[in-house]
Amino acid sequence: MIRIDSRQMVIVGLCASIVAAMCTVAVAEPQAMSVVASTEPQPAEQPRIVTMTFRPQAAAQPALRYTLLPDLLDQTPGNALPLYFLAIDLMENQEGAKMDAFGNSLIESLKKPLAELASSDEIRSLLERHHEVLAQVTLAARRETCVWDLPVREQGIHMPLPSLTRFRTLARLVALQARLQIAEGRNADACRTVQTGLAMARHMGQGPTLISALVAVAMAELTLDRVAELIQNTDAPNLYWALTDLPQSFIDARTPMQFEKSILYLTFPQLRNLADAALTPEQAQALSDEIVRILDSRETGWNARLAAAAVAIKVYPIAKQHLVSLGYTPERMEAMPVQQTILLYWLDQYTRSRDEMFKWFSVPYWQAAEGLRAAEAKLAENPDRLLNPCIALLPSLRKAHLRTTMPDRSIAALRCIEAVRLHAAAHDGRPPTQLDDITLVPIPIDPITGAPFRYEVNGNQILLEGPAPVDGSPKDGLRYEMTLTQ
């Protein structure tokens, strides 16, 4: 015999009243769905391939003659963010209604061969037109801080975000300036512009959200591509120590991760002290309804109310038993409203799942990947997650960790390439047969796999490759196909 306590009877009564009310609501006939499958073959995904030609080159003297982030002596006190916004205003005023077309033109210009840029008066005219924009970005990149000062604590998930699209346009404009300087053989000027691009990416990564960190990754990768182009210039300096001098975790995602970890409590601050709160049934129901309304949009209107009642019937006995196992006394449980009991159960589920994933963000990706996969698989296999709206706030941390590690992989690969140039300069222009043959400088591992990069030599043809991670997409691989000339 199934026993139903008084609290479940209240839920059943609520469910019955909702069903009765819904009988008066017209229900639309289901619509037929048409699905058309594409018969055209889809191109296979490939790793990112970078083709390079370069010469042997010894280390710069002094070793840090070139740096890829602004030196402390070149920085000035102040907040960079207002200058970036000023640069965006100047750029928008210059382009007006053609702003989107301008952004697209930058994308196309970044694809052009360097030789074509060197002879392009159009590109020079474009950069001259935006001279003041670039001047403001250069100043901003050399400010000591970048304080976003967004209302994170006050608004949580409701916080409006500034448009980050224009920041990417600024980064492309800076990258185009660097490309022209490289094409014209102005290596020192190109290094300074690379400093601007990389500092701007670091500033973007100091924003409070995961979105800003991912935009920072794109900006960093865009600028590191310029370093790969600069290395190929005639008489290009060897940038091994300049690359080694960069921060080991180039995009520091700690601030965005703190936001993501705290977002539920920032959005619903009442939840922080829920265990000690003396809520009335009406207050507990109102809080639960608000959480479901904001985090779970699968149902609306009467459907939402019916779904909530059905969930309460299913979850309440489980929630009650779970809280008792945590040490809640029967007296305390009896005094607690149904929805408060369910909310506390949801919070405990959410916090355990959250921490099982977030703890892995404190270790390198190659060490964290398996743990993140296991935590995400465990969550996906738990059928109760579909009844807990708080779970919807958990991001895919494995993908986020992978993305934010990508610039570190690019830096490590470029360090290997510069180490090859160092070795060749000391050995009559001959490349090492394997990376272990290089003794002049340390050789970094691949930050994605935790293993050495794959390295092959065939005459003057060199291959350096970082494979895609386990369970990752082939396009997450990185492959340098290089030719060493004299």
More confident residue, 314 or 471: 314
351 in any annotated domain: no
Cβ contacts of 362 within 8 Å, gap of 6 or more: none
Eight-class DSSP state of 465: E
**Tokens found for residue 49:** 């391939």
Per-residue pLDDT tens digits for 154-205:
888 888 878 788 999 999 999 999 999 999 999 999 999 999 999 999 999 9
pLDDT recorded at residue 43: 56
- pLDDT band for position 151 (50/70/90)? confident
pLDDT recorded at residue 300: 52
Alpha carbons 342 and 326: distance in angstroms, whole number: 14
Lowest model confidence (mean pLDDT) among 105-109, 264-268, 314-318: 314-318
Range of the domain at 186: 67-236
pLDDT recorded at residue 19: 34
* Closest to 262 in 3D by CA, of 379, 157, 346: 157
221 in any annotated domain: yes
- pLDDT band for position 471 (50/70/90)? confident
Alpha carbons 120 and 123: distance in angstroms, whole number: 5
pLDDT recorded at residue 303: 54
97 in any annotated domain: yes
320 in any annotated domain: no
User: Strand 478-484 relative to strand 48-54: parallel, antiparallel, unpaired?
Assistant: parallel
336 in any annotated domain: no
Q: How many residues does the chain have?
A: 486
**Which position has the token pair 């196309």?**
108
309 in any annotated domain: no
Residue 483: strand pairing partners? 53, 461
- pLDDT band for position 32 (50/70/90)? very low
429 in any annotated domain: no
78 in any annotated domain: yes
Cβ contacts of 217 within 8 Å, gap of 6 or more: 201, 205, 251, 403, 404, 406, 407
Distances in whole angstroms, Cα of residue 392 to Cα of each of 196, 379, 395 = 37, 11, 8
Domains of the chain: total: 1
Per-residue pLDDT tens digits for 364-395:
999 999 999 999 998 888 877 778 888 888 88
More confident residue, 38 or 334: 334
